[in-house]
């Protein structure tokens, strides 16, 4: 009997949760082609109205009341109680009727919102499925934790240690394989950046900066690009805006208006499926510290400049990556320019950071997770 794996995600709170789910789906299909692997949006399936409301509240909190969101995140118990009690009970019946009744062998959550509701639905079954969660940041909060969870997939051993020390999770339930990223990164990371630049029609010898991670409503890389265009030493700049059409138009307008771009080579792109190619071409990646984007950059061995981390998980991600010596945080555009100038002038220092980054990267994270889970159900 072929295994049935259900991956529950949320796309409204940033694309990283969905990309982790799709990465796992691909790894499962590569490792066990006979398996039925389905990716679904939790709130999109059971309550589109609540999905829209949650998106509005989340992004407005980040934009207009960041200090409040930081307090909510730091005090995860209050949010966990909401997710584990009233919301879990109200959503679990609809989850059961629309998703769980079909009898999955494993259910994996890549976002915490519906985790407790899935646990409640699991409780109703005579033959419960195995419930897992993928923590998509370099830090874990209380709302990721539930006694019904059978296994946790986490970004690093330090996150595993936190689960054990702070939440008393059995170490046997924790796998420190890294945040799941697409298997293509396993081979992409082996090619030198000069090869990627030649393939993409870029100057193979020019110091190359990639701006990415601009999909969220709170991202604004337009002034960053404007400042880099005034950089004294010629740069090769790649800006990728994903599905953020507004940001793409802004960057294109900045290029049209700029009179100081002489000597710089600039490529402005929207959504790029094969993001590993452009990461491979870069010397440095300037981004928001989302867990998925940073995991991809680590897999490619690229030093990071983390620009204006948002409250909550981004602040925690930035602190972790800086402590590992693979990233610098910039609160201002001038700080970005200063860090870039230092790395460009002192290539030995940049090389040292790049080597630490490559060691920290987990390009095979999705495959390792898929293999571990499949051994438990096949």
Q: What range does the domain containing 176 cover?
A: 4-181+363-377
Task: Read off the CATH number of the domain in which 249 is found.
Answer: 3.40.50.2000
The first and second tokens of residue 183, run together, are: 């298997």
Q: Is the pLDDT of residue 360 over 60?
A: yes
The three-state secondary structure class of 102 is helix
CA atoms of 98 and 107, how far apart (whole Å):
14
Is pLDDT at 299 greater than 60 in this prediction? yes
Same domain, 83 and 43: yes
Least confident of 51-55, 261-265, 308-312: 261-265
Whose tokens are 């293999």? That residue is 371
- Is residue 216 domain-shared with residue 201, that is, in the same domain? yes
Q: What spatial distance separates the first Cα and last Cα of the chain, rounded to whole Å?
A: 9
Cα–Cα distance measured from residue 242 to residue 223, given in angstroms and rounded to the nearest whole number: 18
What are 9's strand-pairing partners? 41
Co-location of 231 and 346 in the same domain: yes
Identify the burial level of 100 via C-beta atoms within 10 angstroms of its C-beta, where 0-12 means exposed, 13-18 middle and 19 or more buried.
buried
Question: Could you give the number of structural domains in the chain?
Answer: 2
Q: What is the mean pLDDT of the chain?
A: 91
Q: Which two tokens stand for residue 346?
A: 């002192």
Instruction: Give the confidence band of 77 by pLDDT, cuts at 50, 70, 90.
Output: low
Whether 195 and 54 share a structural domain: no
Q: What is the CA radius of gyration of the chain?
A: 21
Which of the four pLDDT bands, split at 50, 70 and 90, describes residue 259?
Answer: low
Segment 107-118 mean pLDDT: 93
Alpha-carbon distance of 133 to 159, in angstroms, equals 13
Regarding whether 285 and 273 lie in a shared domain, the answer is yes
Residues 324 and 243 grouped into a single domain:
yes
In this prediction, residues 246-255 reach a mean pLDDT of 88
29 and 128, same domain (yes or no): yes
User: Distance of alpha carbon 279 from its chain centroid, rounded?
Assistant: 15
Residues 103 and 244 in one domain: no
Q: Please check whether residues 17 and 90 belong to one and the same domain.
A: yes
Could you give the CA distance from residue 176 to residue 304 in angstroms, rounded to a whole number?
22
Of 44-53, 198-207, 210-219, 358-367, which range is least confident? 210-219
Q: How far is CA 120 from CA 85, 93, 132, 174, 202, in A?
A: 9, 9, 14, 21, 52
Q: What is the pTM of this model?
A: 0.93
The per-type count for the chain, helices as H runs and strands as E runs, is 18, 12
Dihedral of alpha carbons 217, 70, 164, 112, sign: negative
DSSP class of 128: P
Q: How many CA atoms lie within 13 A of 21 on its CB side?
A: 25
Under a CB-based contact definition with an 8 Å cutoff, are residues 77 and 101 in contact?
A: no
Residues 79 and 15 in one domain: yes
Structure tokens at 269: 């792109």
Judge if 93 and 214 occupy the same domain. Answer: no
Residue 13 contacts residue 312 (beta carbons within 8 Å): no
Q: What is the pLDDT of residues 128-174, one digit of tens each?
A: 899 999 999 999 988 899 999 999 999 999 999 999 999 999 999 99
Mention every residue, 6+ apart, whose C-beta is less than 8 A from residue 234.
Answer: 206, 263, 264, 265
Q: Could you give the C-alpha distances from 317 to 320, 330, 367, in angstroms and in order? A: 5, 14, 23
CA distance 115 to 206: 46
Same domain for 244 and 160, yes or no, is no
């Amino acid at each position: 009997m072929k295994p049935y794996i259900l991956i529950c995600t949320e796309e409204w709170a940033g694309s990283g949760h969905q990309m982790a789910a799709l990465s796992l789906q691909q790894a499962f299909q590569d490792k066990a082609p006979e398996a039925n692997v389905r990716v679904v949006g939790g709130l999109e399936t059971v309550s589109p109205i609540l999905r829209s409301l949650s998106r509005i509240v989340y992004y407005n909190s980040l934009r207009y009341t960041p200090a409040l969101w930081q307090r909510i995140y730091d005090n995860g118990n209050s949010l966990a109680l909401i997710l584990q009690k009233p919301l879990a009970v109200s959503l679990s019946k609809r989850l059961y009727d629309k998703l769980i009744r079909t009898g999955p062998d494993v259910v994996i959550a890549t976002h915490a919102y519906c985790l407790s509701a899935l646990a409640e639905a699991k409780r109703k079954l005579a033959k419960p499925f195995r419930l897992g969660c993928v923590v998509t940041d370099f830090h874990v909060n209380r709302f990721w934790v539930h006694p019904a969870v059978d296994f946790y997939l986490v970004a690093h051993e330090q996150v595993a240690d936190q689960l054990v020390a702070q939440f008393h999770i059995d170490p046997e339930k924790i796998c420190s394989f890294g945040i799941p990223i697409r298997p293509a990164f396993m081979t992409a990371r082996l090619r030198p950046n000069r090869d990627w630049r030649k393939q993409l029609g870029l100057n193979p010898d020019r110091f190359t900066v990639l701006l990415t991670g601009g999909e969220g409503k709170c991202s604004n890389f337009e002034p960053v690009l404007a400042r880099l265009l005034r950089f004294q030493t010629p740069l090769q700049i790649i800006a990728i805006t994903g599905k953020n059409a507004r940001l793409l138009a802004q960057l294109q307008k900045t290029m049209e208006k700029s009179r100081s771009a002489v000597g710089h080579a600039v490529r402005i792109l929207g959504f790029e499926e094969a993001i590993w190619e452009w990461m491979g071409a870069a010397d440095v990646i300037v981004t928001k510290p989302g867990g998925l984007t940073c995991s991809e950059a680590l897999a490619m061995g690229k030093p990071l400049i983390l620009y204006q981390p948002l409250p909550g998980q981004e602040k925690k991600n930035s602190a972790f990556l800086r402590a590992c010596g693979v990233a610098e945080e910039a609160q201002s555009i001038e700080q970005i320019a200063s860090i870039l100038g230092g790395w460009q002038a002192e290539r030995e220092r940049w090389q040292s950071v790049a080597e630490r980054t490559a060691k920290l990267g987990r390009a095979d994270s999705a495959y390792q997770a898929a293999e571990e889970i499949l051994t438990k159900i096949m």
